Amino acid sequence: MSQPKSGFEIRADLLSQAQDMLTANIDREYQTVFEWNSHNPGNEKELPLRTINAEDVIAVAKQLNEFVNEK
């Protein structure tokens, strides 16, 4: 039987999931623009200039934590 996770481990997991989600969202945005540009020569769109910062990751992790703690 596995040991229950500590609060630190749970927070670390939530931060990792949040970062992965944000990165995946940016990757999808880029892929959408790449796809558009490959099918619309002469009418290309610029790639979005998006970055992920600590505040973004923490905000998403808090949302995930709120969902987990719902009763």
- What confidence tens digit (pLDDT) does each residue in 22-52 have? 999 999 999 999 999 999 999 999 988 889 9
pTM of the model: 0.81
Helix axes 7-39 and 54-69, enclosed angle (nearest 10) = 120
28 membership: H or E segment, kind and range: helix 7-39
Neighbours of 23 (CB within 10 A): 12
Cα torsion 57, 59, 63, 66 to 10°: value is 110
- Our CA angle for 31, 37, 32, nearest 5°, is 25
Q: Where are the domains of the chain?
A: 7-69
pLDDT for 47: 87
